[in-house]
Amino acid sequence: MMHTLGLAGRRAFIRTPIMRPQSVFIRTRLLNHLRIYRKALLWLALLPIIAVTPSFANTLPDFSALVESEGDAVVKVSVVADASQSSTSGIPGFDPEQIPEQFRRFFEQLPQNPSPVPRRGVGFGSGFIISDDGYIITNAHVVNDATEIRVGLIDRREFPATLVGSDPASDIALLKIDASGLPVVEIGDSDALKVGEWVLAIGSPFGFEHTATQGIVSALARSLPDDTYVPFIQTDVAVNPGNSGGPLFNTSGEVVGVNSQIYSRSGGYQGLSFSIPINVAMSIADQLREKGYATRGWLGVAIQNVDQALAESFGLEKPEGALVAQVTADSPADKAGVASGDIILEFNGQPVGYSSALPPLVGAVMPGKTVSVQVLRDGKPKTLDVTIEALDEGRKISSMSIPTDPVSESRLGVKVAEVPDELAERMGISGGVVVAKIAPDGPAAKAGIREGDVILSFNREEIDDVRELEELVDDAPADKSIPVLVQRERSPMFLAMTLPARKG
């Protein structure tokens, strides 16, 4: 009541001209002008937002037309496998120890009820039709060891499927159903993808058919453990068990990837999804359709990434390329003259920024083709012509044991011994010395050398015995990064070491 009266009283006072002094009149006009000025400034500030907001809203993707036009070609893949062949991961024939726990291939297996008859695992994934006569792409881990495969279409028809071929290395499988006039997807170009692009996944997460989820491309050419031949597309699209083998679309309605894995601590989606580039998938599918299996190129080198310390030791301005730690005897690389210590900077016209970029480039080359390889050797670029051969999946380096009776100790802070003939034969090496004991605070330990490592070269000089290593270490400069090639278990690697000043 008092508030209302006060306002009324003020309005009555202002409306009485005889009671308004000149100063009050001037101040009121100034305040009115100030209010108008402030409103004008506010509108000027809002104009860019008003102008930009509609156009920004128009850039947000509307996938409804894409789902309507392309969703018919996405299928649900159901499999049956003997329980004895199925792993506890729910993926028939897949060993969960093959990849770190955080990386999950998302194939759903349903729990089974107790039964007096032999149990059969029932699971499902996704796939998509690439030809109107019934060829379908899915993941290899979805159908491996399956005794029965069925494909369900969006119109609720189901067909038994035949496994044309499977390639576990790329996780791609090709199925065939007896049908015609089927809807097919449009194949895009995964090499044209850019980080930040919108993408859409369609699949059957947890069995919910034709579920669409969207996101953006988070990264390209990701290398995952035990998947060295696939440069994965990383996205933040929500995918879950059952999405395996489903398509990843771009905004033009083209398939650019095959959903394959997620990074998860819980087993479910946590923001990181990985898809096989469609260019890789189609290359494998074409081979599976033609001959039932896939072949990929083999170069014959063991490589590692180049960090800052190694870059300095090899005279690089910045870390780049793939450092050749070992060349397999009589391999394409060996025949072309590639040497241990070379840094591969370019392969077949494509730059090699990281070591993980090289295997997919090599694997994509058909055996028998000759390609150019640019390497950095002794600080100078060199171009070699390499004729790629077919990869033999069984090629491995044998493990090693540690000899006894160390016979020398050096400035490295290690005790080393000659490599026994039996051990050298098992490892497929010649020369070198084995580290039998290492000082915890010595230069070798700081560089990452461990007991059991075999030192093959020091400062780019090969080592045949203990005496040669001692001479090289004595002549080596102090406080300068030096490359040291060691073999550890099955893998050779370069390490960067800095020696202290000589005593005395």
Position 125 pLDDT exceeds 50: yes
The secondary element (H helix, E strand) that includes residue 188 is none
Report if pTM > 0.85. no
Return d(Cα 175, Cα 180) in angstroms, integer: 14
Average pLDDT over residues 143-162: 91
Q: Specify burial of residue 419 (Cβ count, 10 A radius: 0-12, 13-18, 19+).
A: buried
Name the DSSP letter for residue 366.
P
- 20 by DSSP, 3-state: which? coil
Specify the pLDDT at position 115.
44
Question: Phi then psi for 37, rounded to 5 degrees?
Answer: -65, -40
Name the DSSP letter for residue 253.
S
Specify the pLDDT at position 183.
94
Task: Please name which of 443, 442, 404 lies closest in space to residue 420, comparing C-alpha atoms.
Answer: 404
Beta carbons of 325 and 488 less than 8 angstroms apart = no
Residue with more model confidence, 488 or 76 = 76
Beta carbons of 330 and 299 less than 8 angstroms apart = no
Specify the pLDDT at position 111.
42
What are the tokens at 137? 């792409």
Specify the pLDDT at position 151.
94
Beta carbons of 92 and 140 less than 8 angstroms apart = no
- The single residue listed with the structure tokens 């950095």 is 376
Q: Which residues are catalytic?
A: 141, 171, 244
Specify the pLDDT at position 363.
85
pLDDT in tens, 360-384: 889 888 889 999 999 998 888 999 9
Half-sphere exposure of 73 (CA within 13 A, CB side): 29
pLDDT in tens, 15-56: 333 344 455 555 556 666 666 666 666 556 655 554 555 544
Return d(Cα 252, Cα 7) in angstroms, integer: 63
Question: Phi then psi for 256, rounded to 5 degrees?
Answer: -115, -5
Residue-wise DSSP of 54-66: HHHHHHS---HHH
pLDDT in tens, 69-123: 898 999 999 998 765 444 333 333 334 444 444 444 554 544 444 444 444 557 8
Specify the pLDDT at position 397.
31
- Least confident stretch, 29-43, 134-148, 395-409: 395-409
200: Cβ–Cβ under 8 A, 6 or more apart, which residues? 61, 63, 66, 67, 212, 213, 214, 237, 248, 249, 251
pLDDT in tens, 264-317: 766 666 678 899 999 999 999 999 999 888 888 889 888 888 888 888 888 888
- 207 by DSSP, 3-state: which? helix
- Residues linked to residue 324 through DSSP beta bridges, in sequence order: 303
Specify the pLDDT at position 502.
67
Position 63 pLDDT exceeds 60: yes
Position 129 pLDDT exceeds 50: yes
**What percent of the chain has a predicted confidence (pLDDT) above 90?**
30
355 pLDDT band, cuts 50/70/90, is: confident
- Residues linked to residue 212 through DSSP beta bridges, in sequence order: 202
The secondary element (H helix, E strand) that includes residue 389 is strand 389-390
What are the tokens at 462? 């090969």
Quick count: other Cβ atoms within 10 Å of Cβ 119?
13
311: Cβ–Cβ under 8 A, 6 or more apart, which residues? 317, 318, 319, 320
SS (H, E, C) 125-171: EEEEECCCCCEEEECHHHHCCCCEEEEECCCCCEEEEEEEEEECCCC
Please provide the size of the chain in residues: 504
pLDDT in tens, 446-462: 888 887 788 888 888 88
Position 177 pLDDT exceeds 80: yes
Pairing of strands 186-187, 254-263: parallel
Domains by residue range for the chain, with CATH:
66-291 (2.40.10.120), 297-390 (2.30.42.10), 408-498 (2.30.42.10)
251: Cβ–Cβ under 8 A, 6 or more apart, which residues? 61, 63, 66, 197, 198, 199, 200
- The single residue listed with the structure tokens 């050419």 is 221
158 pLDDT band, cuts 50/70/90, is: very high
10 pLDDT band, cuts 50/70/90, is: very low
Look over the chain and give the mean of its residue pLDDT values, rounded to a whole number.
Answer: 77
Distance from the first to the final alpha carbon of the chain: 99
Beta carbons of 493 and 486 less than 8 angstroms apart = yes
Residue with more model confidence, 289 or 226 = 289
Position 57 pLDDT exceeds 80: no
Burial 296-308 (b: 16+ CB within 10 A, else e): bbbbbbbbbbbee
161: Cβ–Cβ under 8 A, 6 or more apart, which residues? 77, 136, 149, 150, 151, 175, 176, 177
